[in-house]
Amino acid sequence: MIDKKDEKKKERVAIFIDGSNLYHSLDRVKIDFDKLIKELAKDRILTNTCYYITPLDITLNEEKYWKHQKFLAELGKISSFKVVLCTLRKHKNKDGTFSFDVKGDDVYLANDMLVGAYENLYDTAILISGDEDFAPIINTLKRLNKKTENAFFTKTSSKKLRKLCDKVINLSIILDKIKLNK
């Protein structure tokens, strides 16, 4: 059992997952999110994990939609894990096909990182994304004396983002530890 004094000294971490960036990095490999967050948090206190994603369009593929809903529900069962649903905007192209834009995911993620820093909810922010758009947020967190870590897959990773962070974790290196065993 952890003594209250020792607990106060322990580093607090919050994990922020750019769901779309992570999905496009995985190449159909399925990961165990519980193992992922435990591997990233290590022996530190995990205050929360937020996963930013959009629900799929049910009209395109009902079976895929319901599988995704089940996946999101399973994520919600993980301790201190919050799924943040963003908006999927559908556009009809001139040729009759559809294209989609994810709206709000980066803004919600950035906002939650900043609010958590200002409210002193964590000591270290772990960002799972390779998106360079988060560079200004990392700079702000550093000015607020927060540590930053970037967990990424090389194929979707920004060198600039990695250089800004205090620590980097190449998820390809720990993939065997975080893969879903099914």
Write the pLDDT tens digit of every residue in 164-175: 999 999 998 988
In one letter, which amino acid is 104? G
CA separation (Å) from 139 to 21, 24, 74? 20, 25, 33
Is residue 155 very low, low, confident or very high in pLDDT (cuts 50, 70, 90)? confident
Residue 143, token pair as written in the block: 């000015």
- pLDDT tens-digit map of 24-71: 788 777 899 999 999 999 999 999 999 998 888 888 889 988 998 998
Q: What is the pLDDT of residue 61?
A: 83
Q: Which two tokens stand for residue 92?
A: 């009809």
Better-predicted residue by pLDDT, 114 or 97: 114
pLDDT over threshold 90, residue 22: no
The CA distances from residue 124 to 10, 16, 22, 76, in Å, are 11, 11, 20, 22
Q: Which domains does the chain have, with CATH numbers?
A: 4-178 (3.40.50.1010)
Asked if residue 79 has pLDDT above 90, the reply is no
DSSP state of 155: G
